[in-house]
Structure 1
Amino acid sequence: MRRLVVIGIGMGPQHVTPEAAAALSSVDYVLSFVKGADDPLVAVRAQVCRRFGDVPLVVVPDPPRDRADPADYPAAVRDWHAARVAAYRQVLTERPGDVALLAWGDPSLYDSTLRLVDALAADGDVTVEVVAGISAPQLLAARHRVVLHEVGQPVHVTTGRRLREAVDAGQDNLVVMLNSTVRLDGLADWQVWYGANLGAPGEQLVAGRVSDVQAQLVAARERARAADGWVMDVLLLRRERP
């Protein structure tokens, strides 16, 4: 039985925990998808591999995905995941040894790595281990020095795609992830705490009343992309109390 280890790496080398570092040094190689010849996120993974055990990084072209807001979004994601599993399975067949997959943030939160691993483990010749990482909501709360929920109250975690649905359902304290754009129409009176590329060189922070800072949010996102070549952002949204 070979080991397949999923390791949360936060936003890069600075967030790799001692447990994650030990797991990295215990495998024979790290497997990663690459989106084009100059994928900046692969460069960050390579930094992690070099710093913690100088582990070889094996890259695989990422199968294409329909990102044009398809009518059946879950089906489009399922097809993409199936193609990713097939690509990984091909490498595992050709290359022996224990392998790690690096997950941004923590693999439990809006990350598909564990779903891919479940499909690979169904083949019956691997054992799966998971090492937790530092998640984007944790980093956001730390940077802004806030608690994600009010006293005795819940926090609703969702995506930019489903933000309006959550607000219409009555959610009034939300962590919002996977934002292709920052759309906060109708939320002018809400408070927002925003972070882009937290922990990276292009980190950007904005906080305030939505009506006062909405333009700043868009500008901050673009500054993060310009600095790092990519952008991952997260925000906490809270309705003002009377």
Structure 2
Amino acid sequence: MRKLYAIGIGAGDPEHLTVQAIDRLNRVDVFFVLDKGDTKADLVRLRQEILDRFVTRDYRVVLAADPPRDRTPADYRARTPADYRAAVADWHAARAAVYEELILSELSPDSVGAFLVWGDPSLYDSTIALIEAVLARGNVKFEYEVVPGISSISALVARHRTTMNQIGRAVQLTTGRRLAEGWPDGVDDVFVLLDAHATFDRFTSLGLTIYWGAYVGTPDEILISGPLTPALAAQIRKTRAEARERHGWIMDTYLLRRPAP
């Protein structure tokens, strides 16, 4: 039977790979990579660098175009939650169809394929759900295994030399879209992912500390931290905009910390 791996490859540094990940890389016949276009060619290049460094057997790399996602209107706050969920569901369905075609056409019976997942497959990533969706279609059978990786939030706090939580205090992972609804009750540490709109701007009066990072683990890494004042918020916004313009894309995340009572 065909076998698939969803392999977490860390937040950008090839040295983030675990011994388990390297072992599984060396069992793979075909690596599947979704190409997000010229602006994100770095993501394909970094995956190839990992393969060049760690894989010692023959393999193939198969590129496929990542289906476009509906991101209109530009102001996400103008969209209702139903709009957003519908757009994501349509995108996931299109991606699942691509996954199925890749597995059927490029992975022969008894062969092993893999998707190289940025960060950790279990954290804000759709690979596991898409693999399950392909299985649910019933057109192709395969086994699969998930290999954990170093997540963006693990790398972020390590680079800032801090912790994910304060002793005995709750931690929440959320998106900029959800944080825009207000600070969560009973939580002192909030990790924010997928925030293109500098939502931290809304909380400069709460006495928070921010730990922000972009391209964490790569040579382009940018780290900023300190009390979340309007001046620091403006600095992060400016730095983020300049980095996105320079590279054509950005991956960033941040931790907002409220002092425990």
TM superposition shift of 1:166: 4.9
Other structure's SS at 1:152 match: coil
1:33-44 matches, cutoff 5 A: 33-37=34-38, 39-44=41-46
- Alignment of 1:11 onto 2:11: yes
The 10-residue stretch of structure 1 (1-10 or 203-212) with the greater mean CA deviation from structure 2? 203-212
- Alignment of 1:83 onto 2:94: yes
Q: Tell me the residue number matched to 1:127.
A: 143
Q: Tell me the residue number matched to 1:147.
A: 163
Equivalent AA in structure 2 for residue 192 of structure 1? I
The 10-residue stretch of structure 1 (107-116 or 38-47) with the greater mean CA deviation from structure 2? 38-47
> Cα distance 1:166–1:113, how it changes in 2: closer, same or farther (>3 A)?
farther
TM superposition shift of 1:183: 2.3
Q: Tell me the residue number matched to 1:103.
A: 117
State how many pairs are aligned: 242
Distance 2:65 2:148 in 1: 26
> Cα distance 1:101–1:22, how it changes in 2: closer, same or farther (>3 A)?
same
Other structure's SS at 2:51 match: helix
Equivalent AA in structure 2 for residue 86 of structure 1? A
Aligned-CA RMSD value: 2.0
**Alignment match of 1:220 (pick from 239, 243, 249):** 239
TM-score by length of 1: 0.92
- Please list the CA deviations of residues 23-56 of structure 1 after superposition, one character each: whole Å capped at 9, or x if unmatched: 1110111111111245221111121222221642
Q: Tell me the residue number matched to 1:118.
A: 132
Other structure's SS at 1:200 match: coil
- Please list the CA deviations of residues 81-129 of structure 1 after superposition, one character each: whole Å capped at 9, or x if unmatched: 1101111111211112211011111011100110001112333610010
> Cα distance 1:166–1:101, how it changes in 2: closer, same or farther (>3 A)?
farther
Q: Tell me the residue number matched to 1:26.
A: 27
Identity rate of aligned residues, in percent? 43
Other structure's SS at 1:59 match: strand
Q: Which runs of 5+ in 2 are unaligned?
A: none
Distance 1:110 1:64 in 2: 18
Distance 2:246 2:152 in 1: 19
Q: Tell me the residue number matched to 2:67.
A: 63
> Cα distance 1:88–1:184, how it changes in 2: closer, same or farther (>3 A)?
same
- Alignment of 1:205 onto 2:207: no
**Alignment match of 2:189 (pick from 173, 186, 196):** 173
TM-score by length of 2: 0.85
Q: Which runs of 5+ in 1 are unaligned?
A: none
Check conservation: 2:6, 2:121, Cα contact below 8 A.
Answer: yes
